[in-house]
Amino acid sequence: MRACDHVLADELLEPVFTFMRAQTDKTRLTIHQFEEYLDYREKDVGQALLSGLQRYTMKLYLTEEDLRMAAPAERNCAKHIAILNDIYSWRKELLASKTLHHEGAAICSSVQVLSEVTALSHAATQRVLWTMCREWESVHKQLVAEVAGTGSRDLLDYIHGLEFQMSGNERWSESTPRYHF
């Protein structure tokens, strides 16, 4: 990667480390608040890595100001990706929680966390989460509109690319055998 673009490749180093640390973070075993869950999942889903890879493959050189302006859209994208993934993977996680070793079987899902917080059934919580995902799509459109008049062309392309991350994740989640068995 460095042979192709040293600058953008180096920007991927810290996001890779953040993602790897999140995979073994013990806090996932004790999350009981939805906001805390969203913060954890932004790292666990690898949003910084996904975003860095997107900038690398699109050859987008964003300034610090561009990155600051993109941050709300990145967080919004991370929520959408993580929660949509949770909705689709819920059955698999629930089954694993009943059959695997304690740590590997610990459920770390927005379905579980929000169900506990709201006292809704898992099915009802999934419906609420679907609505939240659709609202995050609307928020994304608002964020694109806000950046459209003020940001660089690279920034606008980048923010549009985040939408492709969200829709691509949804398409993959709805079709992968990993969640549909």
Chain centroid, CA 143 distance in Å? 17
Q: Is 59 left (phi over 0), alpha (psi -120 to 50) or beta?
A: left
The closest of 58, 46, 47 to 8, measured between CA atoms, is 58
Task: Name the burial class of residue 131, with classes exposed (0-12), middle (13-18) and buried (19+) by CB atoms within 10 angstroms of its CB.
Answer: exposed
- Other CB atoms within a 10 A radius of the CB of residue 2 amount to 10
pLDDT tens-digit profile of 84-139? 999 999 999 998 888 876 655 678 899 999 999 999 999 999 999 999 999 999 99
pLDDT tens-digit profile of 2-35? 999 999 999 999 999 999 999 888 888 899 999 9
**At residue 175, does pLDDT exceed 80?**
yes
Looking at the structure, give the CATH architecture of the domain made up of residues 6-26+33-175. Answer: Orthogonal Bundle (1.10)
Compute the residue count for the chain.
Answer: 181
Question: What are the extents of the domains in the chain?
Answer: 6-26+33-175
